[in-house]
Structure 1
Amino acid sequence: MSATRGRLLVVDDDLVQRVLISKIGSKLGYDSVVVPSYEAATELLARETFDIMALDLSLGERDGVELLRFVAERDLRAMSIVIISGCDDRIMKATRRVAVGLKLPFAGCLTKPLDLNRLRCALELPQRSPLVAKTASPPPRITPDRIARGLANREFFVEFQPKVALRTGRVVGAEALARWRTAEFGMVSPMVFIPIAEQAGLMREVTDCILSSALSQGRKMIERNPGFTIAVNISGSLMSDLTLPDRIEEILRRENVPPSSLTVEITETTAMADVDRANDILVRLRLKNIGTAIDDFGTGYSSLAVLARLPFSELKIDQSFIKGCESDDDMMKIVDASVALAKAFNMKVVAEGVENSEALEIIRRVGCDVAQGFYFAPSLRRSRAERWISERNSLADEQAASATPAALAS
């Protein structure tokens, strides 16, 4: 007997529909199992594993969201999920965001009556995009002492992700992203070392190191491109340190970089943890002519309060909204409203996570000023970043020069 594609679990209280999905799954090569209820599904998932689950949101007295939560709590994230429902479009989109928030692999969201071609495509997706969770290696065992030694040995550095002005096409800045290369672990993700440094009280040293590296490596970009700014993230644990503005100013002086060429990025939730101290620090940074950006805007719990109370000069719309805006009307409304709010507070608007031309056209249309993301470039080492920025800006200048006569004639 030939090997199957994998195991398919169909959870649906409608007999006809679960039989239909099961038959299509079997034709695609799945070993299909059907259950009619939440209780039957949880009992089965507690003792058996599946590669994909087709889930109807309405399950009698229980619902599909409860089952999604069960799957997340049991850490069954190697199983892709296809959601099926007769609910309206907004509920479907919200349910999809629930699945994303629970970090569950998502293969599709189908409305009733079922489009069988779309169902087949959703069930085929796991084979076209195999999950790597089963084979992913565990994160390295990093200790605070190892981080301290890495700082002493100059193992930390930065990469630069370009920021492009939408009106001119020129690169007007770059975000400096922390990187750490070790002999024994290779490259260590910031998602691994930042929380450890936070807990160990090492973020002041890590931040000073990254800031110095960003400014020293970015100095040529600043000198060659008038108005160019380097953005550096500031840890939440430092937003209660009232000496932070003076330390940043000293690093700027030491690296011979003008204050106006630096923007510090602070997350929304960080800024609201201690508003009075954050306000003290942000005001002093602005007085020193250092830019301040609210990062990941919209993902916290107090977006409007942040804009009203704290003196940010730039707003960065979180990539989770940008990535969904071309296909999700609700996300589009959030992006549109965020831009309007920023303009009302006289702030520059930066869109993060731009990955395709559709998203670029949308953020340009609603009035974003600057964009960054893989559509333009990933994070780059200094030499590659300098070359990429030079080539991009030369091309933008040529296009602007060639367009001038036509513009004057019109």
Structure 2
Amino acid sequence: MSATRRRLLVVDDDLVQRVLISKIGAKLGYDTVVAPSFDAATDLLLRETFQIMALDLSLGERDGVELLRFVAEKNLQAMSIVVISGCDDSIMKATRRVANGLKLSIGGCLTKPLDLNRLRSALELPQQLPPAAKSASPSHQITPERIVLGLAKNEFFVEFQPKIALQTGKVVGAEALARWRTAEYGMVPPSIFIPIAEQADLMREVTDCILSSAMSQGRKLIERNPGFTIAVNISGSLLSDLTLPERIEEILRCENVPPSALMVEITETTAMADVDRANDILVRLRIKKIGTAIDDFGTGYSSLTALARLPFSELKIDQSFVKGCESDEDMMKIVDASVALAKAFNMKVVAEGVESPEALEIIRRIGCDVAQGFFFAPSLRRSRAERWISQRNSSADEGLASTTPTALAS
């Protein structure tokens, strides 16, 4: 067998279907191996490597979801999986969500009786690209002391992702995203430095730095665009710090930015960790005319309680719901219900993660006020953001930007 020969594992307790899938796999150039049961499949997966697996959800006494969990536990996420079932569409959609939650690669979900053309398409793996050169991860090299040094050397900065008003097509705000560039490691992502800062009790210093950077870099955007707001995420660990409102107010004063130009974003889970203190802080922020947004709405366990007990002015629907709403009716219902709840509490609604015209049309029809996502623009450095927003708003004034993305300024 050639070293580059691709391998297909067919897991199905139906002999006829195993033979059918195997034949199609052979025509596509796979070396095909069959497993008639859950136990046979797990044994093969432990001993051998496969690029793709065709999996029937019904496996006698066991089921395919158990095998999906096994694949995730054994860190086999690189293998593409084609799910097959005679169950109804709602179960297939739910199964895909289970797989997504396990970070598995789903090549397709096919219902019985099998459409052979769809099966063939699902089994065709994309052309494998040469592996990219991987830079060494800096995660094990970043220390609290290095973060402190980075703060002292002004290595932290922000990028802006525009927020678009759906009624007018104009940019009405931006989310400021924390960035860190180092000489020795290059760009260090927030997923690495934020947890280290949290553990080392450095989030107050990091947050103050990011907030100052967002306000100073975003001052021109605020001055040139009436009503423009810049959103900054606040760590949950700071929601027990009762001096936070005064510190934020002092930063705004130093940067000569009006309080109404700031939107503080807080995830619902962290907001509910200590409701009384969070409420104390949020109320004082609102009194100072600073906006407050509940971020990643719907991903925690206390969404309704957070809306009822805490004084948020904006609700951000998590991108995991927005990205699936154009193809998943259940996701669309969640977005619809979230908008209705926000309106009932007099809140503005922002949809995150808008990546297609279909998703944009749905969130507009449902009643979202503002959208952000790659359909419009990724996060941009200050000068590029200023040019992009100016271009976008000029187009909106001419009636050209309400439904289409704007090309990024060079």
Q: Does 1:265 align with 2:265?
A: yes
Deviation string 1:14-48 (CA, Å, 9 cap, x unpaired) is 11111111111111111111101111111111121
Could you tell me whether the CA contact under 8 Å between 1:204 and 1:238 is conserved in 2? yes
C-alpha distance in 2 between matches for 1:30 and 1:143: 47
Matching residue of 1:27: 27
**Which structure 2 residues correspond to residues 11-410 of structure 1 after superposition, within 5 A?**
11-124=11-124, 126-128=125-127, 137=135, 139-140=137-138, 141=140, 142-399=142-399
C-alpha distance in 1 between matches for 2:243 and 2:66: 47
C-alpha distance in 1 between matches for 2:398 and 2:361: 22
Could you tell me whether the CA contact under 8 Å between 1:5 and 1:28 is conserved in 2? no
**CA 1:102–1:342 in 2, change beyond 3 Å: closer, same or farther?**
same
C-alpha distance in 1 between matches for 2:400 and 2:33: 61
**CA 1:340–1:130 in 2, change beyond 3 Å: closer, same or farther?**
farther
Deviation string 1:51-110 (CA, Å, 9 cap, x unpaired) is 111111110000111111111111111111111111011111011000000111111111
C-alpha distance in 1 between matches for 2:203 and 2:196: 9
C-alpha distance in 2 between matches for 1:70 and 1:138: 29
Could you tell me whether the CA contact under 8 Å between 1:322 and 1:354 is conserved in 2? yes
**CA 1:8–1:397 in 2, change beyond 3 Å: closer, same or farther?**
same
Q: Find runs of 4+ consecutive structure 1 residues off by over 4 angstroms.
A: 1-5, 129-132, 134-138
C-alpha distance in 2 between matches for 1:196 and 1:222: 32
- Aligned-residue CA RMSD in angstroms? 1.6
Could you tell me whether the CA contact under 8 Å between 1:156 and 1:210 is conserved in 2? yes
Could you tell me whether the CA contact under 8 Å between 1:54 and 1:81 is conserved in 2? yes
**CA 1:184–1:316 in 2, change beyond 3 Å: closer, same or farther?**
same
Q: Secondary structure at the match of 1:87?
A: coil
Following superposition, the deviation at residue 128 of structure 1 comes to 3.8
C-alpha distance in 2 between matches for 1:105 and 1:136: 21
Could you tell me whether the CA contact under 8 Å between 1:78 and 1:131 is conserved in 2? no
Q: Secondary structure at the match of 1:377?
A: coil
Following superposition, the deviation at residue 129 of structure 1 comes to 6.5
Q: Secondary structure at the match of 1:159?
A: strand
Following superposition, the deviation at residue 135 of structure 1 comes to 7.1
C-alpha distance in 1 between matches for 2:123 and 2:188: 35
C-alpha distance in 2 between matches for 1:73 and 1:51: 17
**CA 1:395–1:376 in 2, change beyond 3 Å: closer, same or farther?**
same
Q: Secondary structure at the match of 1:296?
A: strand
Identity %: 83
**CA 1:315–1:187 in 2, change beyond 3 Å: closer, same or farther?**
same
Following superposition, the deviation at residue 131 of structure 1 comes to 9.9
Q: Secondary structure at the match of 1:160?
A: strand
**CA 1:163–1:129 in 2, change beyond 3 Å: closer, same or farther?**
farther
C-alpha distance in 2 between matches for 1:85 and 1:301: 31
Following superposition, the deviation at residue 136 of structure 1 comes to 5.3
For structure 2, the 5+ residue unaligned runs are 402-410
C-alpha distance in 1 between matches for 2:75 and 2:106: 14
Q: Secondary structure at the match of 1:273?
A: coil
Q: What residue identity is the alignment partner of 1:139?
A: S
TM-score, scaled relative to structure 1: 0.94
Residue correspondences, number: 399
Following superposition, the deviation at residue 139 of structure 1 comes to 2.5
Deviation string 1:154-175 (CA, Å, 9 cap, x unpaired) is 1110000000000001000000
Matching residue of 1:407: none
Could you tell me whether the CA contact under 8 Å between 1:4 and 1:29 is conserved in 2? no
C-alpha distance in 1 between matches for 2:5 and 2:367: 46
Q: What residue identity is the alignment partner of 1:127?
A: P
Following superposition, the deviation at residue 219 of structure 1 comes to 0.2
C-alpha distance in 2 between matches for 1:355 and 1:5: 35
